[in-house]
């Protein structure tokens, strides 16, 4: 491709609202342009890379025997009402009306449509299992679109859905798709990790997320040397040992103007891990008291799951005083004894002997607070957001933490959608049963941005071989005379050898060409200039290492083989 014939509008500066390296480079390098918040246009260079990722995914899905379909993005509300998600999905679901005032939505995902499709065509176990996939636009009205196409409202997804007649078949498909995901991200040349994950609004029995490791990732993952690895929001923590010993006398102490645990802890000279923190929550509207140790953070997903609630949220200040009869920030478990409130405590509360808690009146705390003698707990469970010092439940070793970008998510759905939507089949004994489903999604556009986050320098992306938009960038430092002649010939020659070449034949200063080449990020660069050419030589630059070499044109074939 000659640059003079290409559409590659590069920018010197990124727009002010580009808030992450990949977004900056994608806009500056002419991969995308912003249309509106979280909505982007894709330009030829961006499309070229996106299609490379798409092809890798298609090849690997096809290898497993999954079959490509194309599903509508405008979907009737009726299907979403059947699954129950019309109400449940909330405001991320963009709802629209057609000219007859019928309700529709723009697809954020396609479980409903595909379940309805398969239900219409499949009626016997003999037609199962089957796995269908598509590539297409998804729309989610994200509350905070950010990071360019990483958290966009409109984005490009590869989504697959498996239908099975037995648990075994369903698990086999889950494993097949998991294996194909591993091959896909390996082929993309990315450093990644599959981790255990929460199932979120999609629902189902269990799931794995695929995380591209990058410091800018929105997700945190917990990694144990034993191999257990999970999204931190899902990470289970080993139950710590209970601390036993002598109960000291319960006392009230004055803690004037000390608001935070840190302040009270400094003031009383008692470490924060001896504090019993009381949180007031509402689970599907009902009050719940949660006890956490000192500065430990509550994992709301664990709380929601434990309570089997659809929604949990922290009580407002008004609700707090009403429920606990205490000023905000000072409620403690002791005064709640016998009040009939549901009290749930994190397992770490058991490690506190002679603890500190709020005294349920302003500027006052209680010391030497102990379970059973001074307060009661309805249940202990694991509620803590995993952090340094927590131990793996499988082997007891300490977790380490890494940041990741979720590029793919696979779910064993079970019969959640097939039961709700009556997608049933007749088994061998002519019994009607709901199909067992799995669903699998890769954010294709997010993969591209994640690849840049993982591999870039100060001047632009550094593409892996599989994702690079071109094999080689050829730069002619002159647009006339011998340099142009040789560069033209070299371009034709490289193309004839099967290389996909970007040829910078523009009438521009070398500085501009090099800057643009850095932005485009092709790993191998050949430079034809006046200085070396008379000696039959050109310059080769490896973009990733930054190393340059001088090559004899006569040795070109040999050299190209080595790269
Ligand atoms: P997240 O936790 O990042 O919101 P999710 O769990 O909602 O993701 P899924 O519903 O599992 O995502 O969608 C499958 C894949 O689609 C994700 O793994 C991700 O790569 C991609 N994806 C999801 N939301 C977005 C978005 N707003 N912009 C770009 N890609 C997205
Ligand atoms: Mg989401």
pLDDT digits (tens, 9 = 90+) for 72-101: 999 999 999 999 999 989 899 999 999 999
Q: Convert the pLDDT of each residue in 513-553 to its tens digit.
A: 999 999 999 999 999 999 999 999 999 999 989 999 999 99
CA within 13 Å, CB half, 166: 7
152 CB near ligand 1 (under 6 Å)? yes
Domain contains 189:
yes
Domain contains 320:
yes
Domain co-membership, 507 together with 431: no
- From the alpha carbon of 407, which atom of ligand 1 is closest? 20
Domain contains 326:
yes
The predicted pLDDT at position 408 comes to 97
Domain contains 302:
yes
Domain contains 12:
no
Domain co-membership, 155 together with 127: yes
Q: Give the CATH number for residue 504.
A: 3.40.50.800
Per DSSP, helices labelled H in 455-526 are 481-496, 510-520
Domain contains 42:
no
The residue segments making up the domain with residue 136 are 48-72+107-235+401-453
Domain co-membership, 195 together with 64: yes
β-strand partners of 40: 34
- From the alpha carbon of 209, which atom of ligand 1 is closest? 18
Domain co-membership, 330 together with 442: no
Q: Convert the pLDDT of each residue in 266-289 to its tens digit.
A: 999 999 999 999 999 999 999 999
Domain co-membership, 261 together with 213: no
Among 352, 381, 410, the domain-final residue is 381
Domain co-membership, 406 together with 480: no
The ligand that comes nearest to the alpha carbon of residue 199 is 1
End-to-end CA distance of the chain: 21
Domain co-membership, 262 together with 215: no
Mean pLDDT of the chain: 95
Helix (H, G, I), strand (E, B) or coil at 433: strand
208 CB near ligand 1 (under 6 Å)? no
Q: Which long-range contacts (CB under 8 A, 24 or more apart) does 527-532 make?
A: 527/475, 527/477, 528/474, 528/475, 528/476, 528/477, 528/483, 528/486, 528/487, 528/490, 529/477, 529/478, 529/483, 530/477, 530/478, 530/482, 530/483
Domain contains 396:
no
Domain contains 161:
yes
Domain co-membership, 199 together with 113: yes
**Is 169 in contact with 436 (CB distance < 8 Å)?**
yes
Domain co-membership, 200 together with 65: yes
Name the more confident of 196 and 103.
Answer: 103
Domain count along the chain: 3
374 CB near ligand 1 (under 6 Å)? no
Indicate the burial class of 33 (C-beta count within 10 angstroms; 0-12, 13-18, 19 or more).
middle
Tokens 């790993």 found at: 523
Domain co-membership, 60 together with 181: yes
**Is 265 in contact with 298 (CB distance < 8 Å)?**
no
> In this structure, how many other beta carbons lie within 10 angstroms of the beta carbon of residue 77?
17
Q: Give the CATH number for residue 166.
A: 3.30.930.10
Among 424, 453, 482, the domain-final residue is 453
Tokens of 549: 């070499």
pLDDT mean over 383-408: 95
Domain co-membership, 209 together with 323: no
142 CB near ligand 1 (under 6 Å)? yes
pLDDT mean over 312-331: 95
Structure-derived torsion over alpha carbons of residues 193, 195, 201, 206, reported in degrees to the nearest 10: 130
Domain co-membership, 140 together with 201: yes
Rounded-to-integer distance, Cα 264 and Cα 480, Å: 77
Rounded-to-integer distance, Cα 275 and Cα 467, Å: 51
Percent of the chain predicted with pLDDT > 90: 94
């Amino acid at each position: 491709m000659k640059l003079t014939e290409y559409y590659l509008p590069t920018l010197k500066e990124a727009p002010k609202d580009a808030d992450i390296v990949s977004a900056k480079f994608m806009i500056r390098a002419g991969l995308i342009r912003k249309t509106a918040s979280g909505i982007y246009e894709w330009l030829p260079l961006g499309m070229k890379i996106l299609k490379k990722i798409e092809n890798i995914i298609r090849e690997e899905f096809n290898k497993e025997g999954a079959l490509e379909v194309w599903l509508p993005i405008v979907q009737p509300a009726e299907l979403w009402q059947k699954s129950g998600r019309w109400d449940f999905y909330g405001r991320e679901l963009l709802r629209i009306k057609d000219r007859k005032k019928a309700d529709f939505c723009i697809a954020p995902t396609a479980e409903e449509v595909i379940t309805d499709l398969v239900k219409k065509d499949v009626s016997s176990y003999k037609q199962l299992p089957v796995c269908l996939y598509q590539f297409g636009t998804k729309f989610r009205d994200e509350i905070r679109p950010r990071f360019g196409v990483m958290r966009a409202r409109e984005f490009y997804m590869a989504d697959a859905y498996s239908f099975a007649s037995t648990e075994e078949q369903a698990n086999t498909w889950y494993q097949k798709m998991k294996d194909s995901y591993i091959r896909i991200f390996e082929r993309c040349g990315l450093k990644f990790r599959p981790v255990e994950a929460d199932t979120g609004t999609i629902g189902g029995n269990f799931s794995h997320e695929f995380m591209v490791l990058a410091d800018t990732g929105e997700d945190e993952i917990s990694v144990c040397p034993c191999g257990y690895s999970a999204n931190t929001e899902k990470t289970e923590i080993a139950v710590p040992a209970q601390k036993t010993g002598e109960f000291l006398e319960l006392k009230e102490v004055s803690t004037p103007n000390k608001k935070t645990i840190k302040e009270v802890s400094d003031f009383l000279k008692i470490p924060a891990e001896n504090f019993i923190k009381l949180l007031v929550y509402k689970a599907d509207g009902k009050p719940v008291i949660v006890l956490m140790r000192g500065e430990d953070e509550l994992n709301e997903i664990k709380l929601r799951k434990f309570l089997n609630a659809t929604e949990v949220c922290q009580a407002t200040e008004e609700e707090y005083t009403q429920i606990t009869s205490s000023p905000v920030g000072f409620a403690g478990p002791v005064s709640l004894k016998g009040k009939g409130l549901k009290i749930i405590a994190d397992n770490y509360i058991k490690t506190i002997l002679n603890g500190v808690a709020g005294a349920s009146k302003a500027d006052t705390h209680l010391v030497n607070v102990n379970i059973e003698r001074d307060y009661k707990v309805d249940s202990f469970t694991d509620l803590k957001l995993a952090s340094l010092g927590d131990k793996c439940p499988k082997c007891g070793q300490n977790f380490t933490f890494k940041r990741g970008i979720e590029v793919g998510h696979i779910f064993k759905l079970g019969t959640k959608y097939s039961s709700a939507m009556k997608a049933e089949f007749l088994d061998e004994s002519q019994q009607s049963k709901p199909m067992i489903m799995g669903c699998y999604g890769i954010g294709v556009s997010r993969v591209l941005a994640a690849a840049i986050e993982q591999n870039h320098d100060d001047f632009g992306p550094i593409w892996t071989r599989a994702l690079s938009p071109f094999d080689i960038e050829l730069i002619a430092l002159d647009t006339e005379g011998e340099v142009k002649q040789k560069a033209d010939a070299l371009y034709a020659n490289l193309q004839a050898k099967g290389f996909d070449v970007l040829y910078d034949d523009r009438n521009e200063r070398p500085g501009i060409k090099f800057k643009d080449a850095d932005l485009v990020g092709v790993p191998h660069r050949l430079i034809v200039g006046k200085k070396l050419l008379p000696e039959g030589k050109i310059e080769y630059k490896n973009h990733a290492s930054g190393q340059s070499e001088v090559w004899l044109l006569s040795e070109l074939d040999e050299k190209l083989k080595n790269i």
